Structure 1
């Protein structure tokens, strides 16, 4: 199919729970992609998110009472729709509708009954966040329909794009009530796949043997899986973020994605040239200073700084493998350079360690008074039940002055106000020499992606979306192109740990000149994985959705409920 004006969208509505609501990785996807979409479609790209802000305003939303004010008043008077309209405070500043959805709880049972009748969505066993998400999704469909009819968009090419199972009922509402609107559904991870991985069951080696509906019952995620599956099967274009997740979708949702839409990165804010060198130097100084105050002894100025970061998903993010790899490296007698391995994973904390803050302020290496020393930067609420701390103790890490390799656990969000580093994660990432993300379940993987964008070479696995993308792009053997993609499956964790240890050891032997070359190679990977290169996949999805909607409209109208 060749793209033409007939398949160019005039309006795009994109719905997500994470619009102006920074709770996970999808926020990064949407907020960084917004700039590229706004350049293409101007103010005809409109994002829709939940209005959850009561006590305080969203720091990412700026209200504009003049935008679509007549329709907003009409929708409130005639449909009791509570909508706030403004701009998302991200590059591109796209238009945003934030909607209240509480009123739909009054008719929740009727909505679920209709979704069952029309599409076979089984909400009977929905619990927890299922109801809140589905009421928001349904409300978003009603809002889109209201806007569509008020501004008489029937003659235009309109696309409604929904992200994750949480917004699926919105897509189904649109299909039934305004079938001329072309629908797109993107799943960033399947409910069943994430549940299998989260329950420590082998996902990949046995993928073809799993039945999605059966596993949903076994893992108690029937409702979420049901709405996700029915949405995937009913939209005009179904997409996911990586080849690895596409395999899950095909198996569990019984529809192969029409387009894989990899996650790009907006790297305009990353310093360049002299500014980059200054940022890197400052970051290293901060990291080394905190390391010395945690360890209560000096470390080499040219120590190799490596890190793992992300959500505290001990197995899925490969934190267990990372620690095991560091243990292997710690016992390598040939290691001739200090290596400081930072585990930057937010956990349940009381706050910064008082004795550490005192040492940082005094700029002296006074003795430690923390029972958790010498590993953590912040006091954990339940240190005896923390998986990372327990594994470090179990393996015999002690961070003594004689050890070449030290591990420092940073269990705080690095938002610039953590009490120890007091700079953002990105302001520390730029100071790293190498990052390691040996993920087991990672539909995309922004952490290695961000790493190469900051010119930091990275290690990831074939089970991450970014890793599978890099492999497909012709990832070279080893880390000589700035990215090392290690083969990982359900049963080779020991081999992965050993390979990571070998790579880090080899990296420790490289000269500053060799590392500088690898940093340039890493940046080259980032240069072909930004939104300037990846936005075309979304254009392809819009094209497919409009094409398929034209085909659908030429046939007798029916709803898919099998």
Structure 2
């Protein structure tokens, strides 16, 4: 049995959710498979269908419930795999300080000033370790993703084979918006421990280092990240497992063309409504390009995208390109002026369409 442990199993936060949910059906073809995730009630309503647990799990769940660890068994809807979600909030409230003390004494993880963004995943992952300890057999493997699930690896040390995958180091993520991490890694000119303190991610960094050194197998997703992990975490990954694309559900070209025509017209309507009050624009002739990702200006390359648009603007001269940046972030709701423009555009369009029908009848 492979137990895949991630804070994002059944709890969509970012890209790791996509990586695991698309990978899981393929793993299930070759190995017995169960995902272990964090119980986020809001997300669980979208992603999780609770079912009656098998007898052996039901007994374990009852034992853990006595420790304030609540486990729910069911199906992770999109990848259609078995999943156990763990609610560790009550356990955390009573035990987090003792857990952090133990991590300090055993692994020198300094988490004294860490907040709930550290405490919640660490408590959850520790509880995942306690669950796995009760259900694993010697042939099982536990695969944990990112520092958030790493406390399970620490808890299970010597009890079952463990794999730890980092998709990007904590320090690398934190520093990427202000320095060129790749060049700093190449020159080995960075002090990762000092940077972790400077960027306020000391506890997460120390946790990540401890997991990387403790796991039986350490992996990452690219050679660049492997170089970064070696310098920042002090261990070279044993294996690089690149993220892949699943083309099985990609529609054929004729279907794509039909969908393109449909949605392109919807985009054209929006573009007309958005720009018409300010610029004369025919969107039907304008290429549309876009970028999407987390709100990390340099880490996700938005700075390069915007600079490229400036260069494109110089080269195209009188031609038009429409660019979208899809970046989820805090906001105060839709822009009222844009909504007003869209409503006005739709009213004018309806009026013109109606008028044209009447004029056309007279002409004919």
TM over 0.5: yes
Measured after TM superposition, the shift of residue 98 of structure 1 is: 0.6
**Partner residue of 2:161?**
182
Measured after TM superposition, the shift of residue 350 of structure 1 is: 1.1
**Partner residue of 2:172?**
193
Measured after TM superposition, the shift of residue 335 of structure 1 is: 4.3
- 1:274 alignment partner, one of 244, 247, 254: 254
- Superposition map of 1:349-428 within 5 A: 349-351=332-334, 353-359=338-344, 361-362=346-347, 364=349
- Distance in 2 separating the partners of 1:308 and 1:80: 43
Is structure 2 residue 287 aligned with structure 1 residue 304?
A: yes
- 1:338 alignment partner, one of 320, 323, 329: 320
- Distance in 2 separating the partners of 1:22 and 1:360: 36
Measured after TM superposition, the shift of residue 124 of structure 1 is: 2.1
- Superposition map of 1:434-513 within 5 A: none
**Partner residue of 1:37?**
27
Contact 1:125 1:222 (8 Å CA) reproduced? no
In structure 2, relative to structure 1, the CA distance for the partners of 1:172 and 1:291 (3 Å cut) is same
Q: Deviations over 1:308-350 (max 9, x none)?
A: 2212222222212222221222233x54643222222234241
Q: Deviations over 1:174-211 (max 9, x none)?
A: 00xxx24101111111111111113x123232221112
Relative contact order, higher structure (CA 8 A, sep 6+): 1
Contact 1:75 1:146 (8 Å CA) reproduced? no
Contact 1:122 1:226 (8 Å CA) reproduced? yes
Q: Deviations over 1:410-452 (max 9, x none)?
A: xxxxxxxxxxxxxxxxxxxxxxxxxxxxxxxxxxxxxxxxxxx
Measured after TM superposition, the shift of residue 78 of structure 1 is: 5.4
**Partner residue of 1:126?**
114
In structure 2, relative to structure 1, the CA distance for the partners of 1:76 and 1:169 (3 Å cut) is closer
**Partner residue of 1:322?**
305
- Distance in 2 separating the partners of 1:75 and 1:363: 66
Instruction: Extract structure 1 runs of 4+ deviating beyond 4 A.
Output: 76-80
**Partner residue of 1:110?**
98
Q: Deviations over 1:438-490 (max 9, x none)?
A: xxxxxxxxxxxxxxxxxxxxxxxxxxxxxxxxxxxxxxxxxxxxxxxxxxxxx
Measured after TM superposition, the shift of residue 252 of structure 1 is: 0.5
- Distance in 1 separating the partners of 2:65 and 2:270: 57
Structure 2 residue ranges without an equivalent (≥5): 352-364
**Partner residue of 1:144?**
132
SS of 1:312's partner is coil
Contact 1:63 1:85 (8 Å CA) reproduced? yes
Contact 1:105 1:135 (8 Å CA) reproduced? no
Q: Deviations over 1:239-270 (max 9, x none)?
A: 11111111110100010011111112333333
- Superposition map of 1:43-192 within 5 A: 44-53=32-41, 57-68=44-55, 70-76=58-64, 79-91=67-79, 93-102=80-89, 103-148=91-136, 153=137, 156-175=138-157, 179-192=158-171
SS of 1:46's partner is strand
Contact 1:48 1:97 (8 Å CA) reproduced? yes
**Partner residue of 1:241?**
221
- Distance in 2 separating the partners of 1:253 and 1:28: 25
**Partner residue of 1:534?**
none
In structure 2, relative to structure 1, the CA distance for the partners of 1:73 and 1:194 (3 Å cut) is closer
- Distance in 2 separating the partners of 1:365 and 1:242: 53
SS of 2:294's partner is coil
CA-atom RMSD, angstroms? 2.2
- Distance in 2 separating the partners of 1:187 and 1:114: 23
SS of 2:303's partner is helix
Structure having the larger proportion of residues in helix: 2
- 2:180 alignment partner, one of 192, 197, 202: 202
TM-score (norm 2): 0.87
**Partner residue of 1:256?**
236
**Partner residue of 1:521?**
none
Measured after TM superposition, the shift of residue 77 of structure 1 is: 5.8
Measured after TM superposition, the shift of residue 164 of structure 1 is: 0.7
Aligned length: 341
TM-score (norm 1): 0.57
Measured after TM superposition, the shift of residue 162 of structure 1 is: 0.9
Measured after TM superposition, the shift of residue 127 of structure 1 is: 2.0
In structure 2, relative to structure 1, the CA distance for the partners of 1:77 and 1:123 (3 Å cut) is closer
In structure 2, relative to structure 1, the CA distance for the partners of 1:365 and 1:248 (3 Å cut) is farther
- Distance in 2 separating the partners of 1:57 and 1:185: 25
- Distance in 1 separating the partners of 2:241 and 2:344: 48
**Partner residue of 2:13?**
23
Is structure 2 residue 204 aligned with structure 1 residue 224?
A: yes
